Structure 1
Amino acid sequence: MEKLNDLDLDKRLGERIRRLRLAAGMTLDQLSERSGVSRAMISRVERGESSPTAALLDRICAGLGIFLSALFRDEDHGGPLVRRADQPVWADPASGYVRRNVSPAGTGSGVEIVEVEMPAGARVLLDAARSAHRLDQQVWVLAGEMVIMFGGAEHRLSAGDCLQMLLDGPIAYHNPGSVLARYAVVLTTPGRAPLEG
C-alpha cells in the first residue's frame, strides 16, 4: 500500500485529535487523565510534532470515547464512493503495519472496512480501556497468517479464516509468519454518535 507523506498525515491526525478534544469540551489535562497519555505527549501529537504509534493513538481515542478508525475518516468529504487512490492510508511507526480505511466517509453507515498489511513477525497491542464502548469486529485474513489474542484466548487464523469478536478490552495482533499478512477488518458501531462538533 502506498501511504501519504508522514509529516502531512501527522499534522492532519494531530489537528483531528485537537478538534475532537475541543468538540468534547476537554482540556489537555482532562484528556491526559482519561487516556493515560501524558499532557506533553498529547500536545506534541496535536501539533504534529510526533509520529504516534497505533498503541498511543488507541489510548488517545479511548480517552476521547471514539475508535481508532474514526481518526482516519473525513466526514466532511464523503459520499457513497471512494476511489482507492483517495482512501486514507497510515503506517504504524513502531510495527510497520499499514492500515487503509476502505469505506466511504460521511454516509452515516455504522459499518466500516479497513484493510491491513502486517509485516512478518510484527506485533501490535491495543490495550486502552474500553469499558465505555464496545465494538463488533470481524477479521478476515486474505493472505498469510495472524494470531489474535483477546479476552484471554488466542486465535490462529490462516488465509480465508474469519474471526468475529465483540471488542471491549485489550487486543493483540501478531503475524507469526515469514511473509506479509493481509487482512480486512469489518467494524460495526451501532448507534454511532456524530464525531464532529
Structure 2
Amino acid sequence: MAADKKNHIAENLRALRTFKKYSMMTLAKYSGVSKAMISKIERGDGGVSAEVLGKLAEALDVGISDLMASCEPSAVLLQSFDTQAVFDDQKIGFTRRALSPVFPNRGIDIVHNILQPGGKTGVFPAHKRGIHEYLVVLEGTLVAELGDKVVTVDKGDCLFFDAHVEHQLINEASTPVIWILVVDASKYARSIS
C-alpha cells in the first residue's frame, strides 16, 4: 500500500475515533482489533488487512472507504482515476479501488476489486440492518460466503445480499477475479447540499 494511502487511513482512523470520543482501548473492545494494532495503524507504521479495516469501520459505524477517504464533499465532484483511494493487501492478493468519491454520509460506495488466485478477502463483519451489497463479476469466478450460505458468482452475474451477516469473498480459480461492488447504505446517508 502506498505511503500516502496509509497516511489517509492513519489520519481518518484517528479523526473518526476522536469524533466518536473513543479511546484506543474502547475501539479495540468494540472492533476486536488490538490496541497495539490500532496504535500502529494510526502511526502509519504497519500493513493493515481488509479484514481489520472492516472490523474498525464497523465499530466506528462507517464504511471501509471512509477510512481511505481523501476528499471533501461537494454537490458536484469528478473523481479522477489518479485520485481514487486504493487499498492493496499484497499478502493476500487483494486490491480495492474506491471508484466513487469518498466523503462522509454519501450512502453509496462503488468499489472495483481484484483478488488473485487462491486469495481470500478475510471475513468482513456484519453491517447494520438495511445495508445492502451488489456484486457484479467482470472477470473470473468468485465464491461468496454470506453467513451460512455459499454462492458462486460467475462472470456477468450480479449478486445482491443483505450485508447484516459476516461475509468473505474467495477466488478458488487459477486466474484473478475482478468485480464491482456497490455498497448501499443510503438508508443512513444525509444530504451533502
Q: Could you state the TM-score of these two structures normalised by the residue count of structure 1?
A: 0.87
Using the TM superposition, name which of 114-123 and 66-75 deviates more.
Answer: 66-75
Q: Residue 58 of structure 1 aligns with which residue?
A: 54
Residue 107 (structure 2) aligned to one of 93, 98, 110: 110
Q: 1:134 to 1:53 in 2, by over 3 A?
A: farther
How many Å apart are 1:124 and its aligned residue?
1.6
Q: Residue 91 of structure 1 aligns with which residue?
A: 88
Cα separation, 2, equivalents of 1:109 and 1:128: 20
Q: Does the aligned pair in 2 maintain the 1:100–1:115 contact within 8 Å? A: yes
Q: Which runs of 5+ in 2 are unaligned?
A: none
Q: Does the aligned pair in 2 maintain the 1:125–1:170 contact within 8 Å? A: no
* RMSD of aligned alpha carbons: 2.0
Structure 1 residue identity aligned to 2:66: A
Q: Residue 65 of structure 2 aligns with which residue?
A: 69
Structure 2 residue identity aligned to 1:122: G
Structure 2 residue identity aligned to 1:100: R
Q: Secondary structure at the match of 1:124?
A: coil
Q: 1:118 to 1:179 in 2, by over 3 A?
A: same
How many Å apart are 1:167 and its aligned residue?
0.5
Q: Residue 176 of structure 1 aligns with which residue?
A: 172
Report percent identity of matched pairs: 26
Q: Does the aligned pair in 2 maintain the 1:55–1:124 contact within 8 Å? A: yes
Cα separation, 2, equivalents of 1:74 and 1:166: 28
Using the TM superposition, name which of 133-142 and 152-161 deviates more.
Answer: 133-142
Q: How many residues align?
A: 189
Using the TM superposition, name which of 97-106 and 76-85 deviates more.
Answer: 76-85
Q: Residue 121 of structure 1 aligns with which residue?
A: 118
Q: Could you state the TM-score of these two structures normalised by the residue count of structure 2?
A: 0.89
Task: Indicate whether 1:48 and 2:48 are aligned.
Answer: no
